[in-house]
Amino acid sequence: MSKDKISSQEMVEQIAAKLSVSKRVAEEFLKSLFAEIEETLLKGEAVKIKNLGTFKLQWNEPRKSVNVQTGEVITIEGYNKVTFTPDSELKEAVNEPYSHLEPVELDGQEIPSFEIEKPDSIPAEPLRNLNEQASEIRDILSEINALSASKTAENSALIDNTPDIPDYDLVLIDEEEPTIEENKSEIEEPEATPQPEIIEQSQYTEKESEKPYSSANDDEVKIDEPAEEPKVSVTTLVPAQLPLRKKRKGLRIIIGLFITVLIITGGVYIAYFSSSCLRCWIEYDLLSETNRQKISDFKSSFTGWFTGSNTFEKSDSTKVEGSQKITLPEKVTEPEIATEPEQTIDETSVTTEETDSFDIVFKNRRNYSEFLGEEAISDGMRLTNIAQHYYGKKEFWVYIYEANQDNIVHPDRITPGTVVRIPKVDRRLIDKKDPRCLQKAKELHDLYVGKK
């Protein structure tokens, strides 16, 4: 017990001091007091002391219990117990520090309302079902939106990828413009008629207008339809969902804006690159297909760069020669382009920055100043593995080899423990989707592996 405990001896001293009597008197008095209380209690009477409380004798009946450790059933025998009930004054005096506190009913008001709610809960269930449906519909709508977003992304991708299908680009633009108008009409109609029933009607008109439109046009629009139709069915199911309508409206505006922006950027893109890039692309095309001989010339000069000369200074000069050889046929092809100006407009987006700069990048001597990291070659590790890890394609190991030619004698015989620096190669050179990159890498591969 943390509290100080005062013994009977101290009590005697205090009483003696207060009444200025001898300790013995006080002690005798206390002893007689307790003896008297005890005797009276044993008579079966209660002892009441003024300002203190009441002592009573209580008989506790024998009861059965279980020994927790052994599980044995034991009987606790009956016994007498002195109980003390403090006087109300004393009780209050003792509890004074907390006397200001009163029991608080926490949720007394909730309970009656809960009892009222119970009968109401049965008709409330359909409402809850409706809410669940609404949440489900919301989920479906969000999915549709995501689909449409990806669809627009596909459209943009189509515009970018149009080099492969040159004629398709114009068709795509023709198609997209009506869709914007469609979207605009969709947006305007609900705005004019905010009541849900009329919206439903407008929705039907939209559906009707969509059908001939979709049947008239080709595959592109048919992708639109499945995405569009669930929307219509959903809204007809719950016509009273005005917030949902508003949400859709906003989304349509956003989608419409997005498509317009796409078209504008596409147009600018076409106009900007039509003149310059196409030429380069055609140059390359003609170079690779018609002027094979020139390439073989280039190849021979290229191989001569490595086989004939060990120093880089010399190879540089030969390389310049090679590039000059290539530029010559390019000049020859230019008039051919001039004869076909219409084709340039169609194939505008065919050419990209990558195509025209690719050769230049490849021809320029790659000086590896930036590095992605270093790898210590362990036993069984190959440059191809590292290339696969860093560039995503094992064919590009040649660039790692080029950057580490000082350390590596032969790419197939690297001494374990050699630290190889992984160069940061121009992204256009290690485009694993570009067949030309692979071809160039293969050329280099033949070059390096053949050199023994």
Partner 1 sequence: MNHKELIAKLSERNNVSKSEAEMLLDTFVATLKTQLLDGKAVGFQSFGSFEVRKKEDRLSVHPATQIRTLIPPKLVLNFKQSTILKDKLNAIKQ
Q: Pick one of 66, 76, 94, 264: the residue that binds partner 1 (CB under 8 A).
A: 94
88 binds partner 1 (CB under 8 A): no
- DSSP alpha helix (H) spans, 162-290: 168-192, 196-216, 219-237, 242-289
The angle that helices 8-19 and 23-42 make with each other, rounded to 10 degrees, is 120
Indicate the residue among 42 and 124 with the shorter CB distance to partner 1.
42
Q: How far apart are CA 200 and CA 233, in angstroms?
A: 10
Q: Which of these segments, 67-75, 92-100, 166-174, 180-188, binds partner 1 (CB under 8 A)? A: 92-100
Indicate the residue among 8 and 290 with the shorter CB distance to partner 1.
8
Contacts of range 205-214, beta carbons closer than 8 Å, 24 or more positions apart: 206/232, 207/232, 209/182, 209/185, 210/182, 213/178, 213/182
Residue 124: count other Cβ atoms within 10 Å of its Cβ: 11
Q: How far apart are CA 197 and CA 261, in angstroms?
A: 33
Site for partner 1, residues 370 to 399, rule: CB under 8 A: none
Site for partner 1, residues 46 to 85, rule: CB under 8 A: 46-53, 55, 57, 59, 79-84
Site string (97-126) toward partner 1, x via CB under 8 A? xx--xxxxxxxx--x---------------
Q: How far apart are CA 169 and CA 127, in angstroms?
A: 51
37 binds partner 1 (CB under 8 A): yes
Q: In angstroms, give the least distance from the CB of 8 to partner 1.
A: 5
Q: Which of these segments, 41-49, 184-192, 267-275, 418-426, binds partner 1 (CB under 8 A)? A: 41-49
Q: How far apart are CA 38 and CA 32, in angstroms?
A: 10
331 binds partner 1 (CB under 8 A): no
Sign of the dihedral through C-alpha 39, 40, 45, 49: negative
Q: Which of these segments, 35-43, 61-69, 395-403, 440-448, binds partner 1 (CB under 8 A)? A: 35-43
Q: How far apart are CA 8 and CA 31, in angstroms?
A: 10
- Residues engaged in binding partner 1 (CB under 8 A): 1, 3-8, 11, 14-15, 18-19, 21, 25-26, 28-38, 40-42, 45-53, 55, 57, 59, 79-84, 86, 90-91, 93-98, 101-108, 111
